[in-house]
Amino acid sequence: MSPLRILLEALGSLRREARRLAPMAAGIAWGVASVFLLAAICEGFERTQRQTLAAFGDSFLLLRMNRSTGARSDPSSMRDLRIEREDVDQVRARARSIAHISPKGQVWGARVLRGGEASRISLTGVDPEYNRICNVPLEPGSRWLDRNDADQELPVVVLGYGVRDELFGTEPCVGRKIQVSFRGGSAEDAVLRELTVIGAVRDVELSDERYVSNRGVGFIPYPVFERLSQHGASYFVVRPVAGAGRDEVLGELRAILGERYGFSAGDPSAITPYFDALDRGRRMDAVFGGLDLFLSAVGALILLLGAVGVANVVLMSVAARGFEFGLRRALGCRRRWIFAQVFLEAGLVCTLSGVLGFGLGLLGVRWLARVPLPEGFAVPQADLGAALIPSVLLFVVSLAAAAWPAARAVRVHPIRALHGSGL
């Protein structure tokens, strides 16, 4: 019997057995579609979370110097701490676990004016290497603070995308002037300072992290911040060297700055993390590693159910066609031809069901793309590779499950089959 003849016989059998095979085909299609849709949702969620972290930077620590308690029994020893230029220089010279460091002085809610437009800004003084620690993507035509700006104490500013939109809208902002109100100890001390805009931050953020968001920020050179604001910096950001962890960085910082300010290197409250991108990255890896295990477990369950369903349906089909197989054997049909036909029937059902499942999965992804999703979830990503692996495994397992009923069909003696004996 030629392969073409076997294929035509298999197609004819599928047409006759359609009612019996339909539930199995529907189950396989639903399983493939479910795995495809789950993989797409998880891929979209993971991509969103990683983009959210990457928008701020994924290898830095935002730290704060708190009050030094010294001897905790003596309240007079408590004092506010501010990081100074000498502190930064000491850390750069002595801390082996830190690649880059920058102070981060902030005046929250400073009033900024431009013509008749007004806004509130978080005026932030940083060193030029801040953009080597955190991610500060700039709009075309913009530039970042450089060493000359800091050394010459030039009154320049890089605007966050939210402030830029409020003050300039769609107009170009580079080279324009804005005025910022700096306030001292009383309202009478408020003065206006003119700053030149040299750049604007590009909007790539997917969430609003108060301490690291660039939306409402205006970056100025830290020496200018010290001279104008009368505020020191309680915050600073560091980027560890490759392989260094948070505990190692904090240990060195507390030891170096503890010598200058008289607090113990073992005091965890003297320098505390406010935003830990390193830890978030590790937790993110753990979460999505768990999701991968979950998807693997779901896929294994679908494989098991699919295999049981295929074996059961094919076995019932073979049992119902016992007389047919016996008659064929009596007329000279070889065993391998019967085996090939039964096996091919199962393969065709699995293939067509898998294709249908992929189609249903794609429709589900397109439907979800139009549905409002919770914050943190992006549009599901149709990752064909992620769904192809479990689908191929399902196909292989289904065929393996069909092999046993097919083998039973060819083992029965023709006379027993013609007499109606069970397989």
| Predicted local confidence at residue 408, as pLDDT | 67
Higher pLDDT, 258 or 206: 258
- Co-location of 120 and 266 in the same domain: yes
- Co-location of 200 and 225 in the same domain: yes
pLDDT in tens, 140-154: 999 999 999 999 999
Look at residue 90 and tell me if it is in a domain: yes
Copy the structure tokens of residue 336: 């391998």
Q: Which among 253, 277, 301 is the end of a domain?
A: 277
Q: Which of 103, 218, 202 is nearest to 157 (CA)?
A: 218
Please give the residue range of the domain that contains residue 207.
Answer: 61-277
Q: How far is CA 365 from the centre of its chain?
A: 18
- Co-location of 222 and 329 in the same domain: no
Look at residue 403 and tell me if it is in a domain: yes
| Predicted local confidence at residue 296, as pLDDT | 74
Higher pLDDT, 275 or 343: 275
- Co-location of 263 and 348 in the same domain: no
Indicate the pLDDT class of residue 208, thresholds 50, 70 and 90: low
Indicate the pLDDT class of residue 360, thresholds 50, 70 and 90: confident
Average pLDDT over residues 381-404: 68
pLDDT in tens, 46-66: 887 787 778 888 889 999 887
Q: Determine the Cα–Cα distance for residues 155 and 59; give it in Å rounded to an integer.
A: 29
- Co-location of 217 and 353 in the same domain: no
- Co-location of 152 and 252 in the same domain: yes
pLDDT in tens, 288-313: 888 778 877 777 777 677 667 767 77
Strand ranges, E, within 91-173:
98-114, 117-126, 156-159
| Predicted local confidence at residue 75, as pLDDT | 46
Q: What is the mean pLDDT of the chain?
A: 78
Q: Which among 277, 295, 329 is the end of a domain?
A: 277
- Co-location of 331 and 414 in the same domain: yes
Q: Which among 277, 294, 310 is the end of a domain?
A: 277
- Co-location of 210 and 347 in the same domain: no
- Co-location of 217 and 286 in the same domain: no
- Co-location of 123 and 264 in the same domain: yes
Residue in this structure with the two tokens 């295929």, named with its chain if needed: 310
- Co-location of 315 and 220 in the same domain: no
- Co-location of 232 and 162 in the same domain: yes
